[in-house]
Amino acid sequence: MTVHLEDIKKAADRLRGIAIETPIHTSAVLNERLNAKVFIKPECLQHIGAFKFRGAYNRLCQMSDAERAKGAVAFSSGNHAQGMAYAAKLLGMNATIVMPSDAPSIKKEGTERLGASIRLYDRATESREDIAAEIAASSGATLVPAFDDIDVIAGQGTCGLEIMQQLAARHCIPDVVLSPCGGGGLLAGLSTAIKETNSATKIYGVEPQNYDDHSISKAAGLRTKIAPQHSTSCDALMATQPGEITWSINRKTVDDFLVVSEDEVAHAISFAFRYLKLVVEPGGAVALAALLHNKLDISGGSAALVLSGGNIDSETFASCLQDFPLP
């Protein structure tokens, strides 16, 4: 199973007038600092504050009336949870989300506010996959993966399609595009849309240093599971293994993977607030962090990057601004 540009265009048709077509921003400060033309795709301005609504709605809206009547179930640390909750609300469906008890409170509260039921679990002692499967089996609800699903990937790919269309309107084709990478769903959809539009554009996935399973998988030449010894502030990117479907796509379409540190992420959050006037969560800021900390030389060229989410607790946000007051 794979995704093609035509699938993403069909997803864009389903999402038209429902998802927000987030704008493309530029920043004189960022361009000057990097000696390049950088375009920012702020998916933190999407419904529920993250790109995840795109894939969730594209998956749920194609369900039959009988399937919708039985509802949907998913597992997520927060952004897929909220995306599913809002998509289900728009479609008049019930949704149950399995969430870790240590998920950011802003994500748990957002999911509940949108009408979904939450089943909390302990990351250390329970399996979210098993819990969700049990709920689906007992209720008949449809299990919707956060990333390893063709329709979810196609929905996320509309972000990449918009990037290329918006830049084409500016008579620009980006040399490189950078995207955060957790399970790889956004990256798989985005890279497909971009590579099938312009094969010369290079694609980079960006991961936090303690959850760099894609980078390790690329070096090993095969899909690899990691056992992190440390946590990360990037709760949205805490997948420990690339998805089967996402990896089958990303190993062909992604040119390389970059890794950023926790301090580099915090610095990027402060930079986004000070200069871009945007609130970005840790997992959403990794692509910006990679450019600000010279993980890739784009001097003299053009680049687009995705700020994939903005659901950050006030305490974490304040800490980033305090630690890096002059980013």
Q: Categorize the per-residue pLDDT at 106 as very low, low, confident or very high, splitting at 50, 70 and 90.
A: confident
The DSSP string of 261-272 is -HHHHHHHHHHI
Amino acid at 78: G
pLDDT tens digit sequence for 248-283: 999 999 999 999 999 999 999 999 999 999 999 999
Tracing tokens 């597992």 back to the chain, one arrives at 75
CB burial string 290-313: b at 16+ within 10 A, e below: bbbbebbebeebbbbbbbbbbbbe
- Residue 8: predicted pLDDT: 98
Q: In this predicted structure, what is the pLDDT of residue 78?
A: 81
| CA dist., res. 267 & res. 263, Å (int) | 6
Per-residue pLDDT for 1 more than 90? no
pTM over 0.85: yes
Give pLDDT, residue 207: 98
CATH number listed for the domain at residues 5-51+149-323: 3.40.50.1100
Average of per-residue pLDDT across 58-63:
98
Which pLDDT tens digit goes with each residue over 40-50?
999 999 999 99
Q: So what's the pLDDT on residue 62?
A: 98
Domain edges within the chain? 5-51+149-323, 53-143
Asked if the domains at 5-51+149-323 and 53-143 fall in one CATH topology, the answer is yes
Q: Could you tell me the pLDDT band of residue 77, with boundaries at 50, 70 and 90?
A: confident
Residue-level pLDDT at 104 = 86
Q: CATH assignment of 53-143?
A: 3.40.50.1100
The single-letter DSSP state of residue 69 is H
The answer to whether 189 and 158 have CB atoms below 8 angstroms apart is yes
Ordered DSSP codes for 214-250: HHHHHHHTS------SS--S-GGG--SS--HHHHHHH
Task: For the chain, give the mean pLDDT.
Answer: 96
Within a 10 A sphere around the Cβ of 59, how many other Cβ atoms?
A: 25
